[in-house]
Amino acid sequence: MSFTEEIKKRRTFGIISHPDAGKTTLTEKLLLYGGAIQEAGAVKSNKIKKSATSDFMEIERQRGISVATSVLAFSYNGTKINILDTPGHKDFAEDTFRTLTAVDSVIVVIDVAKGVEEQTEKLVEVCRMRNIPMIVFVNKLDREGKDAFDLLDEVEQKLNLKVTPLSFPIGMGYDFKGIYNIFEKNVNLFTSQSKQHKGETIAIQDVNDTNLDTLVGASAASTLRENLELVEGVYPPFSREAYLNGEMQPVLFGSALTNFGVRELLDCFVQIAPPPRPKRAEERDVQPSESNFSGFVFKIHANMDPKHRDRLAFVKIVSGTFERNKPYLHVRLQKKLKFSSPNAFFAEKKEIVDTSYPGDIVGLHDTGNFKIGDTLTEGEQLHYKGIPSFSPEHFRYINNADPMKAKQLFKGIDQLMDEGVAQLFTLEINGRKIIGTVGALQYEVIQYRLEHEYGAKCSYENFAAYKACWIDESKAKADELSEFKRVKQKFLAKDKTNQLVFLADSHFSLQMAQQKYPSIVFRFTSEVVE
């Protein structure tokens, strides 16, 4: 197969949802269709259950599982599909944000009864900012839920999307009869509650066909006709171009648990979802079809064995082919590196591969060379953009609890921060170190890992901050900046890249600072998202 064909057949995407909307169930059903697994229940969720909050072993065990399920690859009708797993637990949201820099499209799963939930809003916003093509899958149609039109309205309003349904449910919950596929113009009848639904798909060229009345009953058929008329009147026809530009989001309905509407979703996805897209580097846009290899690290995972502190760096291939044992330039370190055992990922296992193509993810064994966001090339000085840090929600001082192990502690903190477990800020005024995290769970993970992997002990102390705001010193007026620095010196810190950060103690104090120093821009991410 030619290089161009290899690129064309790849689809790399992520599934995002609020916890419990059905992401894991859907992933599993997709894998079943791809023949990548044989039975339901084979994919272990990478989600960290709420009950695991203080169970370290459970966290560790699940971290292990999440390595295996970080990338789930399978083939379907000649297409190579890479699903990048995104943790659903909100304490690991930052991981998910970063993974979204490596996907070419996403599927958003929404629970028909719960509608748009908080975590979905946040994740969709990140995708919207990056114009990532999105397909919305409304799940759990086998249960009572919201009216389809109300739900479509909610999706448009809360998520700020422009939707167009590609399928439409016939009834719901107890009265759920099936789904009319607007995209394929056929009806899929819901005939059983079985978990392995293999319902028949009946082609209906025209919704006015009286066969429909026989199939679903006269009343349901007439409601469907009315609904479809309304759909046609209200929603714009599907445009692939608009979808690819992130300007229109097709919606499909189904039930992952009963495996209903999943094949339709997959078929539609394979047809419309984009192959690997070009990516912007600081220097230029890079096309997948370029012959020279380039890629970037979007995730780093510590290995399970605490005796070998090696890690797996996940690299998304943007252009060219990645080859085993070929030297590549690590741009930040200006160092050539060779990889003798790059891993490729399949449903639940990983294997050493010789060649990988754009859209693929390779896992590289690393002993501390990589940070999230690093670029690898064949020699070109490229820096891929777009892995910002978001403002943490929690802040705590970290103290050394074992003075004999200071070196180990600093090394551990350094490496955990490179992995993106949390963010480190150093206070300007006294050099004390503050760890910022998205969720409280990370503090326990850090403490546990410092002790078990680095032999260091730490304790925490509260630091009252509301948000971290990054400040671009070069853009502010000099007098305003120096006055601000003098007044707020207690709240100023540097992040790991030496950028100035204002750790605002309250919403009010941030507002006051914004009013008082209008030339200073306070950003909630470490980098401008384009």
Q: According to CB under 6 A, which one of 6, 11, 12, 22 is a site residue for ligand G4P?
A: 22
- Give yes or no for residue 30 binding ligand G4P (CB under 6 A): no
- Give yes or no for residue 165 binding ligand G4P (CB under 6 A): no
Q: How far is the CB of 289 from ligand G4P (least distance, A)?
A: 35
Q: According to CB under 6 A, which one of 7, 21, 126, 212 is a site residue for ligand G4P?
A: 21
Pick the stretch among 15-23, 189-197, 482-490, 505-513 that binds ligand G4P (CB under 6 A).
15-23
- Classified as helix, coil or strand, 151 is helix
Q: According to CB under 6 A, which one of 12, 45, 375, 391 is a site residue for ligand G4P?
A: 45
Q: How far is the CB of 142 from ligand G4P (least distance, A)?
A: 5
Cα–Cα dist 278/227, whole Å: 39
In the region spanning residues 87 to 106, those forming contacts with ligand G4P, defined by CB under 6 A, are: 88
In the region spanning residues 214 to 233, those forming contacts with ligand G4P, defined by CB under 6 A, are: none
Tell me the β-bridge partners of 163: 249
Question: What tokens does 36 get?
Answer: 């990548």
- Give yes or no for residue 318 binding ligand G4P (CB under 6 A): no
- Give yes or no for residue 255 binding ligand G4P (CB under 6 A): yes
For ligand G4P, give the closer residue by CB, 143 or 332. Answer: 143
Backbone angles phi, psi at 21, to 5 degrees: -75, -20
CB count within 10 Å of CB 401 equals: 15
Binding mask 143-162 for ligand G4P (x = CB under 6 A): x-------------------
Q: According to CB under 6 A, which one of 23, 177, 350, 467 is a site residue for ligand G4P?
A: 23
Largest CA distance in the chain: 82
For ligand G4P, give the closer residue by CB, 165 or 388. Answer: 165
- Give yes or no for residue 117 binding ligand G4P (CB under 6 A): no
Q: According to CB under 6 A, which one of 11, 80, 98, 140 is a site residue for ligand G4P?
A: 140
Q: How far is the CB of 111 from ligand G4P (least distance, A)?
A: 8
Specify the long-range contacts of residues 281-285, CB closer than 8 Å, at least 24 apart: 281/375, 281/382, 281/383, 281/384, 281/385, 282/382, 282/383, 282/384, 282/385, 283/381, 283/382, 283/383, 284/382
Question: What tokens does 243 get?
Answer: 């979808």
Q: How far is the CB of 184 from ligand G4P (least distance, A)?
A: 21
Pick the stretch among 12-20, 99-107, 321-329, 384-392 that binds ligand G4P (CB under 6 A).
12-20
Cα–Cα dist 110/116, whole Å: 6
Whether residue 440 contacts residue 396, with contact meaning beta carbons closer than 8 Å, is answered with: no
For ligand G4P, give the closer residue by CB, 24 or 82. Answer: 24
For ligand G4P, give the closer residue by CB, 145 or 288. Answer: 145
Tell me the β-bridge partners of 15: 107
Cα–Cα dist 39/31, whole Å: 9
For ligand G4P, give the closer residue by CB, 98 or 140. Answer: 140
Whether residue 87 contacts residue 123, with contact meaning beta carbons closer than 8 Å, is answered with: no
What one-character-per-residue DSSP string does 428-462 give?
TTT--EEEEESSTHHHHHHHHHHHHHH---EEEEE
| Contact positions vs ligand G4P (CB under 6 A) | 17, 19-25, 45, 47, 88, 139-140, 142-143, 255-257
